[in-house]
């Protein structure tokens, strides 16, 4: 029987007869009422004719491919934007077949059970799951292995704290959102009320690290006082709570400059290690082979971690301490730490390459060759997505891999007809959740950006830098000579003219949070009403260290807090997904010519 796409029907429910309308009929009515090309044109600035032309081109194409990565996550309503895009792909059949796919933030990871370095880690995990009394109930409910693994990943959310939530809670950004109701006039009630309900129902904010004050932070692999939005609030709220801040980095980053201790890390070229994750657009595992010895006192992160573990064990013995309780409350013995850290001494301080080699050998989703041959070649193809490993998003690709063939996500669902991990077990666009219904977001829709930071005329956006890889080498003297040598903000000719700003002027951008000084670049490549700063500039490159991300409050969207106690995995918070993240592209500022500094 084909599904109904139009009309209205009467069906029998447990509560009696009720009238129902197919989602497709509701979608058609909504599009005709709210989202005609003429209405869309007034929002996006593209002519109705161009919108129709693009829509027909997508509809008639044999296939369309998109990889959006993290672009839309930087918007307060980014979920609505991406849901709408995926809806277009689904309606036109551009999902789950060669030459037709939508990738959001795709990753592939080694399928190695890191704790034991055993082969077939996913099968080990599923074997353990089968002993769980809930396993048979889940199977009866129709949960696939993918869904069951998601259930366990969701449970781990209580022990692992997403750092975006950590910064929101302990850095003052959540309080800032509460005080300003996320600058969102469309909210039906206070943000505090949404947060309270999410906590009471166990959807979010359950980790112990969110309920106790932080005392020590090890910053590894992230420059938090440069990278996280609302820089000033983090410095005012998070930094004073810390008894000690330790940074592990190979350069003097912004966070390192605020740290009590800086441990010098070896660079990528000073140790041999596999890169554990990759992008499916190039489904290959890469290895970095050591090209030079670490300089001076620099060490690999692995060596540091082992040495620190040994020192903790040594201090515990000196103080007569036998055990401690970890974040979830489990008792751990100090005299077992070194043994567990080094796998019984198998991977000691100098074991960085040994560990990488065995992670490689024990994975089942890459083509395993001789280790020396792998180092010589530099890459090896992934042969599958695996069941565990790094981010659960690797499993979410839901497809097989063939060497020499492009990776096509979701073919398990389109070709094998495996159910999707959603409430309806189908690709689903109608979210039947009280909050989404309350906010008018049950179906994908358009909402204007909130005026985050205050009611100011310019929307501050950004992009990836052209003179660095993230912030790496942005302050290198040679790189600085290839551009203006200092942070710059792009402005439109119209906006600059209205403010008497010339190209090269030092300007001050400000809103209700704070301000920063920066050099203006006046260009026809920026639309009126927009200002743009590429993301990597470092705090000390701004006068007074007033970093440009200080004006970005990263407001909390209640739909990012929504969850469920049922089996609709797409609404369940995990350590790597479905929780509030950082956003910045809704930030509003005003810009004026800066007074000359004395």
Q: Mean pLDDT over all residues of the chain?
A: 90
Helix (H) or strand (E) holding 521: strand 515-523
Q: For residue 128, what is the DSSP state?
A: H
Give 254's pLDDT tier (boundaries 50, 70, 90): very high
**Average pLDDT, integer, range 221-228:** 94
pLDDT of residue 430: 94
- What are phi and psi for residue 518, nearest 5 degrees? -160, 155
Whether 113 has a pLDDT exceeding 60, the answer reads: no
Burial class (CB in 10 A: 0-12, 13-18, 19+), 55: middle
Q: What is the pLDDT of residue 125?
A: 54
Element housing 216 (H / E): strand 216-220
Q: What is the dihedral sign for C-alpha 8, 13, 15, 16?
A: positive
* Confidence band of 114 (pLDDT split at 50, 70, 90): very low
Mean pLDDT (whole number) for 96-119: 74
Distances (CA, A) of 544 to 251, 474, 516: 21, 19, 9
Q: What is the pLDDT of residues 556-583, one digit of tens each?
A: 999 999 988 665 567 888 777 788 989 9
What residue ranges do the domains of the chain occupy? 1-28, 108-414, 458-593
How much is the pLDDT for 161? 81
The SS3 of residue 183 is helix
- Which residue, among 252, 260, 184, has the nearest Cα to 215 in the 3D structure? 260
Q: What is the pLDDT of residue 388?
A: 52
pLDDT at 266: 96
Residue whose C-alpha is closest to residue 406's, from 284, 277, 286:
284
Closest by CA position to 312, among listed 348, 344, 336, 347: 336
Q: How many CB atoms lie within 10 A of CB 408?
A: 23
In order of 40, 157, 270, the CA distances from 328 in angstroms are 49, 11, 36
Length of the chain: 598
Question: What pTM does this model have?
Answer: 0.92
| Nearest Cα residue to 83 out of 432, 443, 448 | 443
At how many degrees (to 10) do helices 352-361 and 301-319 cross?
110
**Is pLDDT larger for residue 471 or for residue 435?**
435
Task: Return d(Cα 587, Cα 75) in angstroms, integer.
Answer: 9
Q: What's the rounded Cα separation, in Å, for the pair 370 and 376?
A: 10
* CATH ID of 458-593, from 2.40.110.10, 3.30.70.1400, 2.40.40.20, 1.20.120.420: 2.40.40.20
Which residues are bridge partners to 288 per DSSP? 273
Residues whose CB falls within 8 Å of the CB of residue 578, separated by 6 or more in sequence, listed in order: 560, 563, 570, 571, 572
pLDDT score recorded for residue 393? 66
Radius of gyration of the chain (CA): 26
* Spatial distance between the Cα atoms of 234 and 167, rounded to a whole number of angstroms: 7
Structure tokens at 367: 């083509």
* Contact between residue 502 and residue 496 where contact means Cβ atoms under 8 Å apart: yes
Residue that the structure tokens 């709408």 belong to:
84
Burial letters 12-50, b for 16+ CB under 10 A, else e: eeeeeeeeeebbbeebeeeeeeebebeebeeeeeeeeee
Give me the pLDDT at residue 173, please: 96
Q: Report the SS3 class of residue 262.
A: strand
In angstroms, rounded to a whole number, what is the distance separating the alpha carbons of residues 128 and 110? 20
By the 8 A CB rule, do 514 and 546 touch? yes
């Amino acid at each position: 029987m084909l599904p109904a796409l139009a009309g209205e029907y009467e069906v029998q429910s447990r509560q009696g007869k009720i009238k129902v309308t197919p989602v497709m009929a509701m979608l058609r009515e909504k599009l005709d009422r709210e989202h005609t090309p003429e209405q869309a044109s007034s929002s996006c600035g593209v002519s109705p004719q161009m919108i129709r032309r693009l829509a027909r081109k997508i509809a008639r194409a044999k296939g369309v491919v998109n990889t959006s990565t993290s672009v839309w996550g930087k918007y307060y309503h980014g979920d609505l934007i991406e849901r709408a895009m995926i809806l277009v792909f689904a309606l036109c059949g551009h999902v789950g077949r060669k030459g037709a796919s939508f990738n959001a933030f795709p990753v592939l990871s080694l399928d190695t059970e890191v704790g034991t370095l055993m082969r077939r880690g996913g099968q080990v995990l599923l074997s353990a799951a089968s002993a769980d009394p809930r396993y048979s109930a889940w199977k009866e409910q129709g949960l696939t292995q993918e869904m069951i693994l998601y259930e366990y990943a969701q449970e781990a959310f209580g022990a692992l704290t997403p750092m975006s939530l950590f910064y929101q809670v302990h850095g003052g950004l959540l309080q800032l959102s509460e005080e300003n109701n996320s600058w969102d006039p469309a909210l039906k009630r206070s943000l505090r009320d949404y947060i309270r309900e999410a906590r009471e129902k166990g959807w979010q904010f359950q980790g112990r690290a969110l309920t106790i004050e932080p005392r020590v932070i090890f910053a590894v692999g992230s420059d938090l006082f440069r990278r996280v939005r609302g820089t000033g609030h983090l410095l005012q709220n998070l930094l004073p709570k810390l008894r000690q801040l330790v940074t592990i980095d190979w350069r003097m980053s912004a966070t390192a400059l605020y740290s009590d201790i800086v441990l010098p890390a070896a660079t990528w070229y000073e140790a041999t290690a596999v890169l554990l994750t990759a992008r499916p657009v190039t489904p290959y595992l890469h290895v970095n082979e050591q090209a030079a010895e670490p300089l001076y006192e620099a060490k690999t992160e692995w060596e540091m971690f082992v040495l620190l573990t040994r020192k903790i064990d040594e201090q515990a013995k000196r103080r007569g301490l036998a055990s401690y309780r970890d974040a979830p409350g489990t008792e751990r013995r100090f005299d077992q730490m070194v043994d567990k850290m080094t796998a019984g001494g198998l991977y000691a301080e100098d074991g960085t390459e040994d560990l990488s080699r065995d992670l490689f050998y024990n994975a089942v989703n890459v083509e395993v060759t001789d280790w020396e041959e792998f180092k010589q070649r530099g890459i090896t193809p992934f042969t599958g997505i695996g069941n565990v490993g790094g981010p659960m998003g690797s499993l979410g690709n839901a497809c097989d891999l063939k060497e020499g063939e492009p990776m096509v996500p979701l073919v398990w669902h389109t070709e094998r007809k495996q159910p999707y991990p959603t409430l309806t077990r189908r690709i689903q666009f109608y979210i039947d959740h009280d909050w989404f219904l309350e906010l008018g977001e049950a179906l994908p829709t358009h909402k204007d950006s909130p005026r985050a930071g205050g009611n100011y005329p310019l929307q501050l956006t950004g992009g990836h830098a052209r003179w660095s890889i993230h912030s790496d080498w942005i302050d290198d003297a040679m790189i600085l000579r290839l551009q203006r040598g200092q942070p710059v903000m792009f402005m439109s000719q119209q906006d600059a003219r209205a403010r008497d700003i010339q190209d090269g002027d030092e300007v001050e951008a400000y809103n209700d949070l704070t301000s920063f000084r920066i050099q203006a670049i006046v260009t026809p490549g920026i639309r009126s009403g927009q200002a743009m700063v590429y993301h990597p500039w470092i705090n000390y490159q701004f006068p007074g260290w007033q970093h440009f991300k200080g004006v970005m409050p990263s407001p909390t969207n209640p739909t990012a807090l929504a969850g469920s106690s049922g089996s609709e995995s797409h609404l369940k918070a995990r350590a790597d997904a479905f929780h509030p993240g950082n956003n910045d592209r809704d930030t509003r500022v005003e810009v004026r010519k800066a007074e000359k500094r004395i």
